[in-house]
Structure 1
């Protein structure tokens, strides 16, 4: 991507929430490789430091922020305004999943998953949308939800909520010429596989199930997700209100 695009995003500015690992970090890297200046967030100081070392570029600015904390979201808006001023692209990527069956879900676990995935995403956009320049774009991360495994009811519900209000916001932000789209990843190979407190054994089992369920027969890479996210943000200038599956055919009814 760096060779093909060179530094075509030099002068552009972006925010990536949940940008310390996996898909989020890949989006940050893809942006900075193309010359954009990026603020990215995470809740863990250690992960922020590790990400900054891995990214190894002055174009990336780590900010500790908790998407479940309204005061932190407000402070993030102030920091983005101070450091970047306006922004061209906003990638709302934070998320957490927990495998829990119907009997295992508690009110606390339900609230935790909805607070990060749905509430946090919505109010992050509410706070940062005024900073998005006319002609800019917002990209949410949802999930390929057409076929799912048992135990992800809260997570799937929260991500469906994100997909729904992404479409509404696409309509609401049309007068400012801001496009709003979503990427819907399937099985993507990340350190956590998007699931909290996954053991190595569970991760291996999850990958095996994912490979078997994906028509292309493998998990996707974080770079493939980042490429799709940047396509929607940068190249797809006549596209809004779209949820783009990045799932190897997982939710597309393709025989496997």
Structure 2
């Protein structure tokens, strides 16, 4: 269990519950784990609610809950003097793959108020708006973080690159990519990694239910967590240095001890400082 690992911090990359049970389950997790919990939300967390209302309610609730931080409304968190944490829910923004020819329809369209009663073109506009919102938020955070820190961990639910949208060890196909990768967020991360090649960025995400690692640039790495419905478990326990391996180190930059991170099978990440 996560608690048995005695983590100092816990990272959660979404699909925690459904909207009516989200806060009770977050409170239960916090009480059980006994460690600060930093999280973003996944699409399932908005089922039987609306995106804006769930985010608004959760922001207010977390302000009175010690040890629970919703990164989509928080900004940045300093983990060590040289390492910061940022995050946003993200959303499959319909830009990768072939949205108009895809036969895929996610349950989101019937269970999230924002999508109900929308035609296909209106759904696409909403997907793109949600992706753009996430990208804008992270662009502002990364500008601030990379001016002050050498390393950044970014939490998001949806993989930001099609190459990180894993399915049985391969990239998802054009039918699924519109809903399972966020191009807008990926472009922000790519720009940040090119603008600051001396800084290292590691992205933790989930959503696809299949694990994989993408080293897109020398200083940009994406870890996608796996999941099995009804069977959450820890996937891996590792130190902060394993999130920023030697292949990502840039000349003149030195790593330091810090939080370790583990991922469970729901695509959630947790970590402990050593």
Give the TM-score of the pair, scaled to structure 1: 0.46
Q: Which structure is higher in helix share?
A: 1
